[in-house]
Amino acid sequence: MNTQDASNPVALLESWMAKPEAERLEFKEAKANYDYDKLARYCCALANEGGGRIILGVTDKRPRRVVGSKAFPEPGHTVARLTRGLQFRIHFEEVQHPDGRVLIFSAPAHMLGVPVQYEGIYWARAGDELKAMPPDQLRRIFDEALPDFSAELHPQAVLSDLDPALIEQFRARWRRKSGNSALDGLNPQQLLEDAELAQGGKLTLAALILLGTKAALGRYLAQAEVIFEYRSSEASIAHQQRIEYRQGFLGILDSLWTTLNLRNETLHFQEGLFIGDIPAFNEAVVREAILNAVAHRDYRQPGSVFVRQFPRKLEIVSPGGFPDGITAENLLWKQSPRNRRIAEACAKCGLVERSGQGANRMFEESIKEGKPRPDFTGTDAWQVEVTLRGEIQNPEFLRFLENVGKERLASFTTNDLLILDSIQRDVPLATELQARVPHLLEQGIIERIGRGRGSRLIFSRGLYRYLGKAGSYTRAKGLDRETNKELLVRHIRESEPAGAKFADLQEVLREFSRRQVQELVRELREEGRVSLSGLNRGGRWHLSVEEAGNARNSE
């Protein structure tokens, strides 16, 4: 745990309990004891996944609950043994939760290019089991230590293998982006040397990929092509158009967009008196998606980049999974370019504003147009697949953004827009977004309903009034804290004389966490309205004598 979180370890633990185990977390009940070797294997597997935690004393099925653990009564000795056996330091934390003792063993990420083994096996998690790491995952870890593929020098490629027109286009773009007029006086070879696309008369693979002729790519790097396909419906197997682009990428991006834009529908939408038109596919989003596919694909694999267009959907698929350490969940906050030389050259010539920010722009523009976020569901160890949907989900949200104002909206960070999008889709905020919430609250764009961990965010009353949607505000605000407490009291009353189990109270407020329901019940108890009989799972909640009398008098 970091210093900031250590002040409230119980709250941090409960935030982890709400997350899936796939997020580098592993939960085990371990009420009485836990096998040391199994603990070591899990630490090994978590390190191979990039680091994570195994937490003892918590049920592994959601909704999780603390059951307490008596395992490893001298955890310091256990940590020392783990550190010796795994050859890296294991961090340990003991949390005294109200429901029992919880042990947290944290394993750091493996060293770059060096997978971790225990008992001679490279362990990995597979669902609820531990297995030897599959070859593809092991290969990916070993590949981390490989040098930048795009920076390698090709032994045979020469300057004549590059398209002179593309070299000049690169020069013009670089001069315009940098403002450096001295670039005009450089001969092509020196220009490439200064851009780190050539060295000692040899060309890098990045130079071929960005500036190469069709013939040169066919000879040296045939997989460096982009294939465009159009299908008239998502159910169609056969394509109605197919174009194979095999030349320097700098020369095909504009042509590819022009081809795609020929069938780019204009979406008409209306929300009250607010009318607007938006293209199904945003040019900036499409260009960034294609650029990312070319800049970050694995060129050691033989496949091509595919751009598949449908009337309202665009799929862009590139060989090789995400670079190490990158996932669909963290790609907006963590960058790890697989082909750094390509990414840097693209940044020099202005194809991207700055290296590593393409995904941010894709999300920002999609949210501003009321479309679904870019979807990476089809991504696996062998390919990255991003799906762009050309559909407006919520015209009311577009009108809301219009009211925020273009100048104000332009100052928003990616995280600000993700917060607004999360609120309109009614999904929990990612941890990385929390820091920007106070700013939007101060701006009067959003409001916080409720207190403490039971609070939630909605759009502000003023914005709803502007939209003429006062009823929507009331619905979004939902039930207040007192109303939720009354729901619990009503259920307890209906459960008499047997009383209500706490699990039943959680069912009454399903959208609330266990801790949120505990806080409401605690308040009711402090107010003298309910009482508890029995302990642990056998405990039952009853109305207090006074509350029961009030209920009878009101009938």
Q: Which of 20-24, 72-76, 134-138 has the lowest mean pLDDT?
A: 20-24
Q: What CATH code is carried by the domain that includes residue 281? A: 3.30.565.60
Please list, in sequence order, all residues whose beta carbon lies within 8 angstroms of the beta carbon of residue 457, skipping any fewer than 6 positions away. Answer: 419, 423, 429, 437, 446, 447, 448, 449
Task: Write down the pLDDT at residue 183.
Answer: 93
Q: Which is higher by pLDDT, 60 or 461?
A: 60
Q: Is the pLDDT confidence value at 289 over 90?
A: yes
Selection from 336, 297, 351, 347 nearest residue 150 by Cα: 297
357/465 same-domain check: no
Q: Apex CA 88: angle with CA 86 and CA 89, to 5°?
A: 115
Task: Write down the pLDDT at residue 432.
Answer: 84
239/369 same-domain check: yes
Sign (positive or negative) of CA dihedral 104, 109, 111, 117: positive
449/345 same-domain check: no
199/325 same-domain check: yes
Residue 151 domain-assigned (yes or no): yes
* DSSP sequence for 389-404: E---S-HHHHHHHHHH
* DSSP sequence for 498-551: T-B-HHHHHHHTTTS-HHHHHHHHHHHHHTTSEEEESSGGG-EEEE-HHHHHHH
547/495 same-domain check: yes
Q: For residue 476, what are the CA distances in angstroms to 191, 419, 456, 458, 464?
A: 58, 16, 10, 7, 10
pTM of the model: 0.63
Q: Is the pLDDT confidence value at 136 over 80?
A: no
Domain count, the chain: 4
Q: Which is higher by pLDDT, 403 or 366?
A: 366
Q: Which is higher by pLDDT, 276 or 422?
A: 422
Give backbone dihedrals phi and psi of 204, rounded to 5 degrees, phi first.
-80, 160
Selection from 251, 189, 244 nearest residue 222 by Cα: 244
Sign (positive or negative) of CA dihedral 78, 80, 81, 86: positive
| Largest distance between two CA atoms of the chain | 96
Task: Write down the pLDDT at residue 356.
Answer: 47
Task: Write down the pLDDT at residue 554.
Answer: 60
Task: Write down the pLDDT at residue 54.
Answer: 94
Phi-psi region of 452 (alpha: psi -120 to 50; beta: other; left: phi over 0): left
462/513 same-domain check: no
Neighbours of 182 (CB within 10 A): 9
Structure tokens at 543: 């109305």
Q: Is the pLDDT confidence value at 456 over 80?
A: no
Task: Write down the pLDDT at residue 466.
Answer: 54
Asked whether the beta carbons of 461 and 473 are under 8 A apart, the reply is: yes
245/349 same-domain check: yes
Q: Which is higher by pLDDT, 271 or 202?
A: 202
Q: Is the pLDDT confidence value at 29 over 70?
A: yes
Q: Which is higher by pLDDT, 333 or 77?
A: 77
213/351 same-domain check: yes
Residue 335 domain-assigned (yes or no): yes
Q: What CATH code is carried by the domain that includes residue 522? A: 1.10.10.10
Q: Is the pLDDT confidence value at 283 over 90?
A: yes
- 410 pLDDT tier (thresholds 50, 70, 90): confident
Distance in angstroms (rounded) separating the CA atoms of residues 401 and 424: 11
459/490 same-domain check: no
Domain boundary among 410, 445, 477: 477
Total count of residues recorded for the chain: 555
Return the beta strands (E) in 37-169 as ranges: 52-56, 91-97, 100-107, 123-126, 129-132
181/250 same-domain check: yes
* DSSP sequence for 50-78: T-EEEEESB-SSSSP-B------SSHHHH
Domain boundary among 390, 415, 440: 390
Task: Write down the pLDDT at residue 4.
Answer: 38
Sign (positive or negative) of CA dihedral 363, 366, 370, 374: negative
Structure tokens at 493: 């009353």
Tokens 């309990």 belong to 17
Residue 516 domain-assigned (yes or no): yes
Neighbours of 370 (CB within 10 A): 24
Task: Write down the pLDDT at residue 551.
Answer: 63
20/75 same-domain check: yes
Q: Which is higher by pLDDT, 278 or 398?
A: 278
Classify residue 118 as exposed, middle or buried by CB count within 10 Å of its CB (0-12, 13-18, 19+). Answer: buried
Q: What is the pLDDT of residues 160-187, one digit of tens each?
A: 999 999 999 999 999 998 899 999 999 9
User: Which residue(s) pair with 241 in the sheet?
Assistant: 230
User: Which residue(s) pair with 307 in the sheet?
Assistant: 228, 316
Residue 270 domain-assigned (yes or no): no
What's the whole-number mean pLDDT along residues 489-496?
Answer: 89
Q: What is the pLDDT of residues 198-243, one digit of tens each?
A: 999 899 999 999 999 999 999 999 999 999 999 999 888 889 999 9
Q: What CATH code is carried by the domain that includes residue 101? A: 3.30.950.30
518/453 same-domain check: no
Give backbone dihedrals phi and psi of 344, rounded to 5 degrees, phi first.
-70, -40
Tell me the residue range of the domain where 443 lies: 396-477
The bridge status of strand 383-389 relative to strand 313-319 is antiparallel
Q: Is the pLDDT confidence value at 36 over 60?
A: yes
